[in-house]
Amino acid sequence: MTPPTPSTAAPLEVTDDSAEKSITSPANSGNESKSPGQLAWRRFKRDRTGVISACVVIFFFVVALCAPLIANLYGKDPYTTYGLNTPGLLGDNGFPVKPNGGIDGEFWFGIEPRLGRDLFTFLLYGIRNSLLICTAITLLVVIVGVTIGVTAGYVGGKTDWFIGRVIDVLLAFPSQLFFVAFTPVVLALFVSPEENTPVWLTVVCLIGLLTVFGWASIARLLRGQVLALREREFVEAAKVTGASPVRIIFKELLPNLWTPILIQATLTLPNMVTVEAGLAFLGVGIQDPTPDWGVMIGQAAQVYQDDITFLLFPGLSMVIFVLAFNLLGDSVRDALDPKTKR
């Protein structure tokens, strides 16, 4: 397999017409030319782990997007307390009467103890909400990180120094502690303590905080990449022809930065899923009546000794999702950057 960019250490070749003719014989000219992206795609398709992980990840996203449709066909919603409305589903102690958390043909994943909500739809909507929030955070983190990182790397000088110190501080910050301590403070800025916090505000606050603390590592990575690319001769070649800095950044540098951006994005998203779930578990993220992966795990953890299936479904699905996404990230990196392969 030829790497997309041959080693820069390759020696200068003296032009030799006869040798060149043999390389570019008419037989291999034509339209079989492959871009570096196409080569990466070909490598990716051959990576079985990557393809399977991609299928799992796509499955989760399809489920998340189609949650209302699936719930509709299934005929239940995540808010109705079926256990309280229909006698005979929950016993006197508040736990499902049937074994395994009340799994049967009607409630596929069982019902929740005490309130008796349907766990299948609750998990569906939980995945949906978690993935929507985390995709939004990842997009914002990547956009902010890339913008700041590329600016720092390309402009250099004092701007670079200043941004570098901000990144240092952000990376040194105990962000998890900060979220726990400051989410209530930030929320209190907008809502008085007596009122109920609207869900959208919690979501916006969560996205904002995680973005603020998430962009630093990707910005630092891209700054380094830009510093390396900036000195390459093709950038100078563009300058000689009069290209503006905007054109150099978007047309010359950015196409060469998609690899690290894509890799970082695929590693950021599963990380955000766990962080978001962790915050919900700790009670500073999404709150109970709103279905969420973390909320569900938090609820289940309170009763896991009596009803392990409640914890099993959200826990297992999250492990599978995060694992698949991380493996996908690795495969993407291997495909785009064959030289880093172990």
Partner 1 sequence: MSSTTPLLDVSGLTKHFPIKGGFPIRRTVGHVQAVDGLDFQVNESESLGLVGESGCGKSTTGRLITRLLEPTAGKISYQGKDITHASRKDLAPVRSEIQMIFQDPYASLNPRHTVGKIIAGPMEINDINPAGGREKRVRELLEIVGLNPEHYNRFPHEFSGGQRQRIGVARALALDPKLIVADEPVSALLQKVQQELGIAFLFIAHDLAVVRHFSQRVAVMYLGKIVEIADRDDLYGNPRHPYTRALLSAVPEATVDETPPRERIRLQGDVPSPINPPSGCRFRTRCWKATEKCATEAPPLVQVEGNKPGHLTACHYPETAEVASAPRLAKDPEPAA
User: Considering beta carbons, is residue 13 or 195 the nearer one to partner 1?
Assistant: 13
What span, in angstroms and rounded, lies between the C-alpha atoms of 214 and 207? Answer: 10
User: Considering beta carbons, is residue 33 or 93 the nearer one to partner 1?
Assistant: 33
Q: ∠ CA 147-325-71 to the nearest 5 degrees?
A: 105
Residue 136 is which amino acid? A
Q: How many other CB atoms sit within 10 Å of the CB of residue 166?
A: 13
User: Considering beta carbons, is residue 5 or 72 the nearer one to partner 1?
Assistant: 5
| CB 27 within 8 Å of CB 322 | no
Q: Which stretch binds partner 1 (CB under 8 A): 24-32, 84-92, 263-271, 284-292?
A: 24-32
Q: Quote the least distance from Cβ 284 to partner 1, whole Å.
A: 41
| CB 74 within 8 Å of CB 123 | no
Q: Quote the least distance from Cβ 270 to partner 1, whole Å.
A: 28
What span, in angstroms and rounded, lies between the C-alpha atoms of 254 and 226? Answer: 9
Q: How many other CB atoms sit within 10 Å of the CB of residue 180?
A: 16
| CB 122 within 8 Å of CB 300 | no
Q: Quote the least distance from Cβ 167 to partner 1, whole Å.
A: 20
Size of the residue set binding partner 1 (CB under 8 A): 42
User: Considering beta carbons, is residue 24 or 305 the nearer one to partner 1?
Assistant: 24
Q: Which stretch binds partner 1 (CB under 8 A): 20-28, 120-128, 135-143, 301-309?
A: 20-28
User: Considering beta carbons, is residue 3 or 184 the nearer one to partner 1?
Assistant: 3
User: Considering beta carbons, is residue 178 or 341 the nearer one to partner 1?
Assistant: 341
Q: Which of 94, 101, 97 is nearest to 115 (CA)?
A: 94
| CB 331 within 8 Å of CB 50 | yes
Helical (H) or strand (E) element with 212: helix 199-230
Window 26-55: residues binding partner 1 (CB under 8 A): 29-31, 33-36
Is 12 near partner 1 (CB under 8 A)? yes
User: Considering beta carbons, is residue 162 or 178 the nearer one to partner 1?
Assistant: 162
Residue with tokens 């297992």: 316
Window 178-237: residues binding partner 1 (CB under 8 A): 232-234, 236-237
What span, in angstroms and rounded, lies between the C-alpha atoms of 104 and 143? Answer: 46
Is 1 near partner 1 (CB under 8 A)? no
Q: Which stretch binds partner 1 (CB under 8 A): 17-25, 43-51, 209-217, 316-324?
A: 17-25
**Which tokens sit at 2?**
């030829």
Window 229-288: residues binding partner 1 (CB under 8 A): 232-234, 236-244, 247, 251-252, 255-256
What span, in angstroms and rounded, lies between the C-alpha atoms of 28 and 62? Answer: 41
Distance of CA 228 to the CA centre of its chain: 27
61 to 100: interface string for partner 1, x by CB under 8 A: ----------------------------------------
Q: Which stretch binds partner 1 (CB under 8 A): 2-10, 216-224, 304-312, 331-339?
A: 2-10
State how far the alpha carbon of 248 is from the alpha carbons of 127, 153, 199, 219, 297, in Å. 40, 13, 43, 18, 48
Q: ∠ CA 185-189-193 to the nearest 5 degrees?
A: 75
DSSP 8-state symbol, 241? T
Applying CB under 8 A, among 14, 169, 189, 246 the residue interacting with partner 1 is 14
Summarize as ranges the residues that interact with partner 1 (CB under 8 A).
2-6, 8, 10-17, 19-20, 23-24, 29-31, 33-36, 232-234, 236-244, 247, 251-252, 255-256
